[in-house]
Structure 1
């Protein structure tokens, strides 16, 4: 309950800051791939993913909110014996305060243009045959903002994570279990470049430390999740404003997914090429 209250407070703070936004970018996107993976599942999974994202900046920092709606094929079934695929919603919120803007001091050094503090949460809900994840996670830690075209932010965050899965095979519910607080080194970037056409290199990379024993008493492993895309801005060809319509290719490498050790758990490492399209407004 405390986690929900904290998440609600952060979301309200984001909404309040949005009213005073100096700039914002809201987008709808779609991506598709046939090589998704899930722990304890040896099959390649096809997924359609619809995303809503919003990022905005105000006097003292910026907000980021994103929610994925993921639709799996029958290789990731929604229930035992079902031929319909699982559905999942995964939401992320981050708020970064720029310490230099708050204090009025110049905190730039070397390639770093600013120093901040980031806090936020992850929440998911998935209906699948085996695990039925109900993840709740609070994050907080320092952020370095690098002086590059576009943006590059690198953060070291403490993660306070819990889950309360339900096993559809055994009809067994697990009480909400809190993992050991652990660290994540994370980077997010969006860097424009040109190769005769307007392109951008975008994505994120997470290196997540072990989180102690899982809810069933098993070991967890270091988790690596890199998701990157090259996007082409085709707005001019459609008579639209810059960065309105983008298409591109995306690749995700996710080792030891959700902390499951890939040397003992089938499906715990994903190598997933995707196609992606975005509309910004």
Structure 2
């Protein structure tokens, strides 16, 4: 993809974000904290502990919805910052916009468990101060099938995927081949009338091979799943859907597209706490 096309898609994302925020009909903003001790990084033989601080905003409007998340990740000394001085720090930003066809055409398009159809567009940005010095720039876009019911929602998306990055070891920019991603996300509720309701949420992405990396090695298909079972402890104090805590799990195979090797597979138990405003 040319630089003009890549930049144009990013601009379209930003335009959609600005339009939809101004017409928001509902929104939810939360801050969160996650912690795990078995994160992995490619070529690193160690299990890495990370503190992750997150800010998430979700909003809906008469055309669709927006999702924005920024994570600030602090690794322990086993994932060192370049030049030493402690563990590496990373900032990772994700934005996604959905244009829902049922809302646009003001017509019910769903049937059975399908609640609607949408077009999803989004981007990822990151920066990390380790020796590799990644600078992820991702664009994704494609159709989404939306499912809904009394227990919550789920999305299934078929996405075009394009990534640019940076390899600090070789000191080169990396323009990966265009490929595809199949992604699903869900948010389900259980025991809503009980003193401690449960929420089961998460996502699962499969990203196909994206050509060669910055070392000239062929990449492999990447699988990333992250899911949490959250307990609505705020309901006890009369603040339902406000304070949630619970365990989580991350599975990451061929991390960043690296083929099986040291540090390319992670199975990480986590703890998460979040407060909604």
TM-score (norm 1): 0.92
Question: SS of the residue aligned with 2:45?
Answer: strand
Residues 125-173 of structure 1, C-alpha deviation per residue, up to 9 Å, x if partnerless?
A: 11112x1100101110000000232221111111011112212xxxx41
Residues 185-226 of structure 1, C-alpha deviation per residue, up to 9 Å, x if partnerless?
A: 101111010284200001000011111111221011111111
Distance 1:5 1:89, change over 3 A: farther
1:221 alignment partner in structure 2: 220
Contact 1:11 1:93 in 2 (8 A): no
2:129 alignment partner in structure 1: 127
88-97 or 158-167, larger mean C-alpha shift = 158-167
1:182 alignment partner in structure 2: 179
Question: SS of the residue aligned with 1:215?
Answer: coil
The runs of at least 4 aligned residues of structure 1 exceeding 3 Å deviation read 1-6
Q: Unaligned 5+ residue runs, structure 2? A: none
| Separation (CA, whole Å) in 2 of partners of 1:273 and 1:164 | 29
1:200 alignment partner in structure 2: 199
| Deviation (angstroms), 1:238 | 2.9
* Correspondent of 1:173 among 166, 171, 174: 171
| Separation (CA, whole Å) in 1 of partners of 2:165 and 2:79 | 20
Question: SS of the residue aligned with 2:70?
Answer: strand
Please report the RMSD computed on the Cα atoms of aligned residues, expressed in angstroms: 1.6
67-76 or 192-201, larger mean C-alpha shift = 192-201
| Deviation (angstroms), 1:105 | 3.5
| Separation (CA, whole Å) in 2 of partners of 1:278 and 1:173 | 38
* Matched residues, number: 271
Q: Unaligned 5+ residue runs, structure 1? A: none
Question: SS of the residue aligned with 2:256?
Answer: helix
Contact 1:100 1:107 in 2 (8 A): yes
Residues 59-83 of structure 1, C-alpha deviation per residue, up to 9 Å, x if partnerless?
A: 0100000111100000000014x25
194-203 or 34-43, larger mean C-alpha shift = 194-203
Question: SS of the residue aligned with 1:235?
Answer: helix
1:155 equivalenced with 2:152 (yes/no): no
| Deviation (angstroms), 1:4 | 5.1
Question: SS of the residue aligned with 1:62?
Answer: strand
| Separation (CA, whole Å) in 1 of partners of 2:9 and 2:145 | 24
TM-score (norm 2): 0.93
| Separation (CA, whole Å) in 2 of partners of 1:107 and 1:236 | 35
